[in-house]
Amino acid sequence: MKKITVLDVTLRDGSHSMRHAFTEQQVREVARGLRKAKVNYFEVSHGDGLGGSSLQYGFSKVDELKLIEAAREECGESAISVLILPGIGVKEDLKNAVKAGAKMARVATHVTEADVAGQHIYLSRELGLKTVGFLMMAHMAPTSVIVEQAKLFESYGAEIIYVTDSAGALLPHEVKERVAALKSHVSCEIGFHAHNNLSLALANTLAAVEAGATYVDGSLRCLGAGSGNTQTEVMVAVFDRLGYETGIDLYSVIDVANEVVAPFMPQPQEITGSSLIMGYAGVYSSFLLFTQEAAKKYNVDEREILVELGKMKAVGGQEDLIAEIAREIANHKQTVN
């Protein structure tokens, strides 16, 4: 039986949907549920990674280090992963996260900028963490570039390399091509992280696994940025039917999704017009709530803002563009009328 490691990102990617307001109690309950379901790894961090608490992305309601500590107390055999984006989080943040209980670091860069991650990947290995290189916005670069960037991660010491579809824009054949190319050009294990903006998260995850990916991300009830991620509990059931071994107990993971996570979700993770357009136009999923707010404030169509962001080739982290674009569209409309 082929083995797949499912990594749950509810307590990190879900932080976007929760406007970075997870409470310690919520984290404890989710961690306990994931432990009971025997999920090997789950991620706890601000949505934008360690050090993401800011005016640009939203302040964390509870310090992420406190949340990591709380998760550690509950996680038993499961291990805690943290995300770090060089340029936002610094090495000190990673050291503190390790003291709080992190066992895996996922170092994330835009798909063409892997060389900013060297110092963080070296540190992660030095600290004895399972170390992942995370290539975000993977739809924005051709496969040849992804391979070249993955080789950089590998040269710094990454053990696993992720194709990260931050905009939920990839189609299954594109996922397959990227994962297969990495599989044949680097010796690391390959992972895949999906967003469901085009309702393709699970299809893309299966395409990735068929092409050789052995790590895949999911979130409970899809709680993640944009339309959320591949739904962890559904993915576990599907892998079971397909004959892949995840080691996860299906009923327990369904229970934590529906009894713990669903009651605190601020809204269902539906594919709305805006999140659909994010996948269609290739926009970073965590821009969604900021776009909705700006659209309301300046009385413009959310989709217009998103399409403009796509045209500008905005990359992850450029939330500061959103209000400016919304205001420009509003001003332009006034002039035209």
Partner 1 sequence: MVKLKVAILGSGNIGTDLMYKIERSDYLSMSVMVGIDPASEGIQRAKARGYHTITNGIEGLVASPELFDIVFDATTAKAHLMHSEKVLALGKQIVDLTPAAIGPFVVPCANLKKFVMADNVNMVTCGGQATIPIVYAINQVADVEYAEIVATVASKSAGPGTRANIDEFTRTTAKAIEDVGGAKKGKAIIILNPADPPIIMRDTVHVLVNERNREQDILKAIEDIVQAVQQYVPGYRLTSAPIFNGQQVSIFLEVEGAGDFFPTYSGNLDIMTAAAVQVGNEIAKQQHETVKLN
Contacting residue, 38, 95, 118, 185, with partner 1 by CB under 8 A: 118
User: Cα 245–251–256 angle (5° rounding)?
Assistant: 110
Q: Whose structure tokens read 């269902």?
A: 268
**Could you count the other beta carbons within 10 Å of the beta carbon of residue 85?**
25
- Residue 167 tokens read as 């905009």
Contacting residue, 1, 55, 77, 336, with partner 1 by CB under 8 A: 55
Run of H or E including 136: strand 130-136
Site stretch for partner 1 (CB under 8 A), options 73-81, 115-123, 186-194, 260-268: 115-123
Please, which residues bridge with residue 131 across strands? 105
Q: Looking only at residues 278 through 317 of this chain, which bind partner 1 when binding is defined by CB under 8 A?
A: 312-317
In the stretch 83-102, what mask flags binding to partner 1 with x, by CB under 8 A? Answer: ---xxx-xx-----------
Angle, in degrees to the nearest 10, between helices 232-242 and 201-210: 40
CB of 333 to partner 1, least distance (A): 15
In the stretch 146-185, what mask flags binding to partner 1 with x, by CB under 8 A? Answer: ----------------------------------------
Run of H or E including 325: helix 320-336
173 catalytic residue (yes or no)? no
- In angstroms, the CA 138 to CA 42 distance is 22
With respect to partner 1, which residue has the nearer C-beta, 167 or 261? 167
- In angstroms, the CA 242 to CA 48 distance is 33
Q: Does 1 bind partner 1 (CB under 8 A)?
A: no
Catalytic residue annotation: 16
Task: List interacting residues with partner 1 (CB under 8 A).
Answer: 54-56, 86-88, 90-91, 110, 112-113, 115-116, 118-120, 140, 312-318, 320-321, 323-324, 327-328
